[in-house]
Structures are given as structure tokens and as C-alpha cells.
Amino acid sequence: MISFGLGVEDLADTRFALSPLGETVFSLRVLREPGLSALHLPWRGSVLARLGALDTRLLLSLVAPRLTLPDFLTPRPAAFDPGFEEELAAVRATPPGLVRRDLTAAYAPDPLPAALAGAARADDEPVAALRDAVCDLLRDYWEVAVRPMWPRMRRLLEADMTYRARQLAVGGARRLFAGMHPNLRWHDGVLYVDRMLSAHHVEAQGRGLLLVPSVFAHKPAPPVSPEEPPLLVYPSRGVATLWDPVPTADASTLDALLGAPRARMLRLLDEPLPTVEIARRFRITPSAVSQHLRVLYAAGLLTRARDGRLVLYRRSPLGDLLAGPGGHA
């Protein structure tokens, strides 16, 4: 069992983040163990067909027999939505001593396999070379296995965070953690993560708690090392429908349903944009854009969020279904 002691200030500093690198690393478990989650078999089958000449032996060796992963591969996200290259750069900067520690901890009490044997040496040079080789392979693997689906995955993860934030606002920490996973328990200021191979307690002491929803995590996953700040990767809601084929939308039908201006606007909003930018691109007045946006938002086809003085609009998951894959004005 792993537990986190969270004071009032830590709960006030509880926040969410995404991690494209984390998703890439966690997906290695599914690639190695197809029986881990039947939900991901469609993804696994499609990825195996595209891997081609990519040598995954070193990557799969990072997953220990007990399905633990070394902490250095999943650094704490430095922002709410960091880029993959940004996170990978943090991994590449990991000191060899931490790489050695985390690989050993992931496999303990077993010895490291032959592919990772260089990490057991006292000399830092082979450890650094191994770290860099892993980073190079992770970048290639990300491009094939995760990046094509990342926009869809990110929307699902953002929807989960919105739901969790509402649970926290309505019922506090108890309600937030009660519905997150059966392995989580909240009692008297302590968050318990049951059924873990490690056993330690970490006091947050003002560092807060970072929550990271994941498509590929099959259970809550705190850091293996007690030296890491409180962080919890947890399984996201809605994964069961993630790999369902997206129906192809017929452009003429969408135009007939919504009207050509609104259909074009819906296709455009695969990225957050303010009213003034949409008006510039469509060469119409902001007031005309606002009328169309109100209708699309009321129909549940858009989401909106405030960024300073601007309100940013973006397609909702329902809007994605209507616009179809690759739908863009």
C-alpha cells in the first residue's frame, strides 16, 4: 500500500495535468500484455500492423514482469498540457544515477534483463547511452502508436478532468476519490492506494497532489519511489468507446443539417479559437459569428473556456462525431 498525507493546503493545490509521454510509456504494458485490457485490443492490433521495422525489444524490456515501470520515464508534467518533446527532453536530462535507481526499483527484487544490463554498471557512460537509446525509440514509437490518436485521447482525458473537478467542487476530496477507482480510499486526510507492490507513506507537506488521467493505466499508479512528490495517474472514464470507429460524415448532409456557415464553422473549430479570429477567417462580422456559435454551443457541438478577456470555442466530442475525422473548413 502507498499512501499520501494531504493537508488543507495540499488539497487546495490539487490539480490536473495531461502527459502524452506518460500515455506512450503506459501503452507499452498493453503492447506487451494483450490480456491486460480487452478494451485496448483494437488499438493494439492496429499498432502492431504499423510498427514495421521499429525494434520494440528494448522498449518492452522497460516493463518489468510485475508490470512496473521506471519512474524516470514518466516525469511530473511541468504544465497542464505539455508537449511530447518537452517531456522527452526532461527524460533525456535525467542523471544516470536516477536512471539506475529507477530501473533497479522497477525490477526489484529481480535482476535487470540483458537489454538493460548496462544500467547496473557503476560507470555512468553506459547508463546515459541506454537512456538516450530509450528516448530515441520512444519518439519513434510515439509517432506510430500514440500521436495519430492523441487529439481524440486528449479530448477524452479533458472530459474526465472536467467531471472530476465537478466532483471535487460538489463533494470535496471524499467524493472525488470515491468514484475514481476501487483501489483508492480517502480517510482522515490520507489517500490510500491499495494493492500496490511497494509500501510507503509520503507526506505532501505543501507540495499538493497532481492528478493525471490516463487512457492506458489499468489501475491507480503513484510513483514507485517515495522520494517523488505526490502524483497519481488514474484510469480515465470513457475508455470503452475510445477505439470505436468514427462514422464518416458526409459534407453535403452536414451542410443540410446545420446550414453551410455553421457546418464550416464546426469543421474549423478543431482548435480553440476566439470569436474575433473566427470572424477574420470567415470575413464576416463578430456579431454574425456569435449568433452561429450560440446555436452550435446550445446544441452541445461546441465547448467554451475563458482565456483572459477572450472566450475560446472548440468542438465538443459530439461535434467531432458530426464533423468526422479530418473535418476542417
pLDDT digits (tens, 9 = 90+) for 35-44: 888 999 999 9
**Residue 35 CA: distances (Å) to CA of 40, 243, 254, 308, 310:** 9, 17, 40, 46, 46
- Domain of 36 in residue numbering reads as 2-241
Is there a domain that residue 246 lies in? Answer: no
In a domain, 288, yes or no: yes
Q: Same structural domain for residues 230 and 274?
A: no
Mean pLDDT score of the chain: 91
Residue after which a domain boundary falls, among 241, 267, 284: 241
With respect to residue 259, please indicate whether it lies within any of the assigned structural domains. Answer: yes
- Determine contact, residues 74/21, Cβ cutoff 8 Å: yes
Do residue 263 and residue 150 come from a single domain? no
Verify that 235 and 257 share a domain, yes or no: no
Q: How many domains does the chain have?
A: 2
Residues 222, 272: one domain?
no
pLDDT along the chain (329 residues), means of 10: 93 94 97 90 92 89 94 94 96 96 92 89 91 96 95 91 90 90 94 90 93 95 88 93 70 82 92 92 93 94 88 89 64
329 lies in some domain: no
Identify whether the C-beta of residue 155 lies closer than 8 Å to the C-beta of residue 232: no
Spatial contact of 278 and 313, defined as CB atoms under 8 Å apart? yes
pLDDT for the residue numbered 251: 66
- 328 domain residue, yes or no: no
Q: List the one residue out of 286, 284, 227, 232 whose CA is nearest residue 260.
A: 284
Q: Within a domain: residue 97?
A: yes
State the pTM of this model: 0.76
Q: Is 226 contained in some domain?
A: yes
The answer to whether 235 and 23 have CB atoms below 8 angstroms apart is no
Same domain, yes or no: 281 and 157:
no
Q: What is the CATH number of the domain that holds 298?
A: 1.10.10.10
Q: Are residues 236 and 262 in the same domain?
A: no
Considering 241, 272, 304, which residue would you say is the last residue of a domain?
A: 241
Enter the DSSP assignment of 82: -
| 183, 284: one domain | no
Q: Kindly state whether residues 314 and 175 are assigned to the same domain.
A: no
Same-domain status, 151 and 71 = yes
Which helix or strand (DSSP H or E) is residue 303 part of? strand 302-307
Q: How many CB atoms lie within 10 A of CB 318?
A: 13
Q: Nearest 5°: phi and psi at 275?
A: -60, -45
Q: Are residues 209 and 255 in the same domain?
A: no
- Tell whether 225 and 281 lie within a shared domain: no
Q: Are 328 and 270 in contact (CB under 8 A)?
A: yes
Check residue 271 and give its pLDDT: 87
220 and 122 assigned to the same domain: yes
In a domain, 115, yes or no: yes
Domain boundary among 223, 241, 259: 241
